[in-house]
Amino acid sequence: MSKQVTEQPQSLLLKDKNPISRKTVYPILIAISISHLLNDALQSIIPAIYPVVKDTFSLSFAQVGLITLTFQLSASILQPFVGLYTDRKPQPYSLAIGMGFTLVGLIFLSRAPSFEILILSVAMVGIGSSIFHPEASRMAHMASGGRRGMAQSIFQLGGNFGSSIGPLLAALIIVPYGQSNIIWFSALALLAIILLINIGGWYKRKIRIKAKRPGKEASHAQVLPKKTIIFSVLILLVLIFSKYIYLTSMTTYYTFYVIHKFGVSVQDSQVYLFIFLFSIAAGTIIGGPLGDKFGRKYVIWGSILGVAPFSLLLPHANLFWTVILTIPIGVILASAFSAILVYAHELFPGKVGMVSGLFFGFAFGMAGIGSAVLGGIADRTSIEYVYEICAYMPLIGLITAFLPNIKTRE
Residues 6+ apart with CB under 8 A from 87: 138, 350, 351, 352, 353, 354
CA 306 to chain centre: 20
Residue 288: per-residue pLDDT? 64
Distances (CA, A) of 100 to 96, 161, 190, 320: 6, 21, 8, 41
Residue 219: per-residue pLDDT? 47
DSSP 182: G
DSSP 221: B
Residue 309: per-residue pLDDT? 93
94 is a domain residue? yes
Q: Which residues pair with 408 in a beta bridge?
A: 221
Cα-flanking dihedrals φ and ψ of residue 221, to 5°? Answer: -115, 155
Residue 9: per-residue pLDDT? 36
Residue 55: per-residue pLDDT? 83
Question: Are 170 and 48 in contact, with CB atoms under 8 Å apart?
Answer: yes
Please write down the long-range contacts of 405-409, taking CB distance under 8 Å and 24 or more positions apart: 405/295, 405/297, 406/221, 406/222, 406/224, 406/295, 406/296, 406/297, 406/343, 406/346, 406/347, 407/221, 407/222, 408/220, 408/221, 408/222, 408/346, 409/220, 409/222
CA gap 312, 167 in Å, rounded: 25
272 is a domain residue? yes
* CATH number of the domain within which 307 lies: 1.20.1250.20
Written in H, E and C, the secondary structure of 258-288 is HHHHHCCCHHHHHHHHHHHHHHHHHHHHHHH
Sign of CA dihedral 355, 360, 365, 367: positive
407 is a domain residue? no
Q: What is the mean pLDDT of each run of 10 residues along the chain (410 residues)?
A: 38 37 79 89 82 84 84 79 80 88 91 90 90 83 78 80 77 78 88 90 81 54 76 89 88 89 88 85 71 72 85 95 94 80 80 78 77 87 92 89 68
What is the number of structural domains in the chain? Answer: 1
Residue 291: per-residue pLDDT? 64
Q: Which of 113, 367, 154 is nearest to 253 (CA)?
A: 367
Q: Which of 69, 408, 410, 370 is nearest to 240 (CA)?
A: 370
CA 17 to chain centre: 34
Residue 407: per-residue pLDDT? 56
Name the amino acid, one letter, at 321: W
Question: Are 232 and 405 in contact, with CB atoms under 8 Å apart?
Answer: no
CA gap 328, 310 in Å, rounded: 7
Inter-axis angle of helices 61-76 and 226-262, nearest 10: 150
Question: Are 398 and 305 in contact, with CB atoms under 8 Å apart?
Answer: yes
Number of neighbours of residue 44 by Cβ within 10 angstroms: 25
CA gap 44, 367 in Å, rounded: 13
97 is a domain residue? yes
Show the domain range for 153: 2-402
330 is a domain residue? yes
CA gap 48, 252 in Å, rounded: 8
CA gap 71, 67 in Å, rounded: 6
187 is a domain residue? yes
33 is a domain residue? yes
CA 89 to chain centre: 24
Number of neighbours of residue 26 by Cβ within 10 angstroms: 12
DSSP 315: G
